[in-house]
Amino acid sequence: FAGYISQVLKNYTDHACDGEYVSLRCPHRTTISIQSSFYGRIVPSHQLCPSRYPHSYATLIKEDVACSVGTSLQKMLDECQDRRSCQFLVNSRLFGMDPCPGTGKYLLVWYKCRPNEYKSKVACEDDKLRLSCKKSMVIAIYSAVFGRTEGGSLECPYQNLGMPMTECQSATALQLMIKRCHGKRSCSIYASTYEFGDPCYPGIQKHLNVIYTCGNTPLLLPVDETGLSSSSSSSSSSMEPVGVGTEMALLSNILAAYAFITGMP
């Protein structure tokens, strides 16, 4: 469970040069969620994706290091969004008109792995957000945003108070939601600056948006007859025995998962 959730929370980056295959893959029960994409060249070839031509020929061509294609994000969405894995050969023909012929290019992709089954909850500023799962299931936080997003929120329409319509988000929202709710059957938190701080200009209305999934307890790490996690990871090996009951064994695994996650960047 800890390994699964750490893969879900992780931000992935992949790249491929012209003529190479790019391959994106997510773990079981998750799908690819493209965050951003770039195709072109903004660094010299000796730093990334060296020229495939002989050096003497390459010196005759002025390499363009301000070259980018505006269709790369849409192409990645078309090829990979909501799939568990995708692979294709990178070349300029995939992205339409070549903005810099003769310059070798590369593809950079940033993506996350989104659970196949997830829930989304929104609370307006100063309202209470409540999350819950069915019996024998626990909460796994996927993402959390507190502040004002570019598209706003249908549940929390903003009043025009003459404030600039800029995007502002708390940098600690995800960490706080994991600490408060991860591994529990239910939890609640106020969408307030007291909890999350104020990432915006004074007076700007904010909201809390949390995406989470509910995991079955059998997905937790295996437990031996002593009630301790059988994982040999350092996060669980330092834990004290918590008993042989099912509930205490479950608690042991949840704490091990949380310790693993909080140790991730």
pLDDT digits (tens, 9 = 90+) for 84-121: 999 999 998 888 888 888 888 999 999 988 877 778 89
93 and 192, same domain (yes or no): no
Higher per-residue pLDDT: 228 or 126? 126
Dist CA 97 CA 176 (whole Å) = 45
**Residue 9's pLDDT band (boundaries 50, 70, 90)?**
low
* Mean pLDDT on 203-231: 59
State the Cα–Cα distance between residues 40 and 32, nearest whole angstrom: 22
Examine residue 249 and state whether it is found in any structural domain, yes or no: no
Q: Could you tell me if residue 251 is inside a domain?
A: no
Whether residue 222 is predicted with pLDDT greater than 80 in this model: the reply is: no
If asked whether residues 103 and 158 sit together in one domain, one would say no
More confident residue, 29 or 123: 123
Render pLDDT for 164-209 as a digit per residue (tens, 0 to 9): 567 888 989 988 998 999 888 999 999 999 999 999 888 788 999 9
Last residue of a domain, one of 116, 150, 183: 116
Question: Residues 192, 127: one domain?
Answer: yes
- My answer on whether 103 and 175 are in the same domain is no
Whether 42 and 72 have beta carbons less than 8 Å apart is answered as: no
Mean pLDDT over the full length of the chain: 75
Q: How many domains does the chain have?
A: 2
Contact between residue 86 and residue 80 where contact means Cβ atoms under 8 Å apart:
yes
Q: pLDDT-derived band of residue 247, with 50, 70 and 90 as boundaries?
A: very low
Residue 3: name the closest of 113, 162, 87, 110 by CA: 113
Geometric angle at alpha carbon 120, from 14 and 203, rounded to 5°? 95
Q: Which domain-ending residue is among 90, 116, 142?
A: 116
Q: Quick one: angle between helices 246-262 and 173-181, nearest 10?
A: 170
The answer to whether the beta carbons of residues 129 and 208 sit under 8 Å apart is yes
pLDDT band at 265 (very low <50, low <70, confident <90, very high): very low
Asked if pLDDT for residue 230 goes beyond 50, the answer is: no
Residue 131 near residue 121 (C-beta atoms within 8 A): yes
Token pair recorded at residue 158: 């903003």
Higher-pLDDT residue of 138 and 231 is 138
Same domain, 144 and 77: no
Do 132 and 208 belong together in one domain?
yes
- What local confidence, expressed as pLDDT, does residue 85 receive? 93
- The whole domain housing 180 covers 119-215
Q: What is the CATH number of the domain that holds 95?
A: 2.60.120.740
Q: Residue 231 to residues 70, 85, 105, 206: CA-CA distances in angstroms?
A: 46, 28, 44, 41
Is 234 within the bounds of a domain?
no
The strand pair at 137-148 and 106-115 is best described as unpaired
pLDDT for 204: 84
60 is written with which tokens?
A: 């005759």
Instruction: Give pLDDT, residue 251.
Output: 43
Flag whether pLDDT at 245 surpasses 60: no
9 and 96 part of one domain: yes
Instruction: Give the pTM.
Output: 0.53
Among residues 197, 215, 233, which one ends one of the domains? 215
